[in-house]
Amino acid sequence: MGTIISYFIVLVLLLTAELFYFRIADRFNIIDKPNERSSHNYITIRGGGIIWWVVALLYLLFHFSTSSLWFFAGITLIAGVSFWDDVNGLGQKVRLLFHLLAMSCAFFLAGVFGAYPWWAIVIGYIVFIGIVNAYNFMDGINGITGLYSLAVLGALQYVNLSYGNFVHPDLIWYPMIASGVFLFFNFRKRAKCFAGDVGSVAIAFWIVTLLLMLIIKTNNLIWLGFLMVYGVDAVMTIGHRIWLKQNIMEAHRLHFYQILANERKVPHRVVSLIYFAVQLLCSVLIILFYPAMGWTIFVILLLVLMGVYLLKFRMMNAKKD
């Protein structure tokens, strides 16, 4: 079903599913109340990002195969436990167990087991589950999850179509369509809904699975640069919180995007567009210059982003003054 008509059908089905979910959320009071981590000050619908699980179901129905079944099993496990956490709350151990099971599905799909030593697989679990959780932490202002996901997926699709398919193109087109639908309701001055854990974790798992398959296909880790902006923000913020002797598992507002939105009062949608544009630029530069420069381009971009992140402390000090 790789035609424009099929994509239009997917779009209509996703819009219908999202509107139907809004009715369910209203009925069962599935709402997002501002907390210590929030950058908004109004109640809205939580879990609108369930649309990424819905589009995974559509992909399974339209492209049924053993591999699509393994992918759907993984995203269902991780989205299911996240949705339950959104509604009722769950312990960290339960969430971790489901994350391990979901990542095992992705590893099986990518052919990791039996192809790599046990210690490399353990590192893989730590790295990719860490990426999923970091992606979840970065959600919080209007448009950032949807736009950033489009930047990453767009870069992955370019590589997929230009350098030999490592996955079926629809495995990337479908979440891009879902991201557009989600943004229609989220990328507003007053968002109709937020992704919730179910959404940010589901699209994170989708992206991690795609990256894993590309890395294995090319035997190259350079593609992790497609997540460089989020990576720098997440890792350096964790370091900042450890320096402050804070519990890194508790809610906070110390991410760079949170400082921009809260302390500097930059409009949420502008911040989201900045993250989208910077990540897209980094991905383009990696694609263009990696063949000639190797990992040098990665290191240059990493150092530049780390330097930009340090501006956060000047912003925070200026606010205190």
Q: For residue range 212-259, what is the model confidence (pLDDT) as tens digits?
A: 999 999 999 999 999 999 999 999 999 999 999 998 877 788 999 999
Selected residue with higher pLDDT from 1 and 167: 167
3-state secondary structure of 253: coil
Q: What pLDDT, in 10s, does the model give residues 153-192?
A: 999 999 999 988 899 999 999 999 999 999 999 999 889 9
Residue 284, pLDDT > 90, answer yes
Predicted confidence at residue 138, as pLDDT, reads 85
Counting the structural domains of the chain, the total is 1
Average pLDDT on 48-66 reads 97
Selected residue with higher pLDDT from 53 and 141: 53
**Lowest-confidence range among 158-162, 233-237, 303-307, 314-318?**
314-318
d(CA 69, CA 63): 9
Confidence of residue 85 (pLDDT cuts 50, 70, 90): confident
Predicted confidence at residue 320, as pLDDT, reads 57
Helix segments in the chain, DSSP class H: 4-28, 51-62, 66-87, 92-110, 118-137, 144-162, 170-186, 196-218, 228-243, 256-258, 268-293, 296-309, 311-320
Domain extent, residue 274, equals: 4-320
Cα–chain center distance at 36: 21
Average pLDDT on 112-137 reads 94
8 Å CB contact between 56 and 202 = yes
Residue 41, pLDDT > 60, answer no
Average pLDDT on 200-220 reads 97
d(CA 210, CA 108): 13
Average pLDDT on 205-215 reads 97
| Phi/psi of residue 82, nearest 5 degrees | -70, -40
Residue that has been written with the tokens 């095992």 in this structure: 104
Residue 262 DSSP code = I
Half-sphere exposure of residue 278, counting CA atoms within 13 Å on the CB side? 22
Selected residue with higher pLDDT from 249 and 54: 54
Residue 2, pLDDT > 60, answer no
Half-sphere exposure of residue 5, counting CA atoms within 13 Å on the CB side? 1
Predicted confidence at residue 34, as pLDDT, reads 62
Mean pLDDT, rounded, of the chain? 92
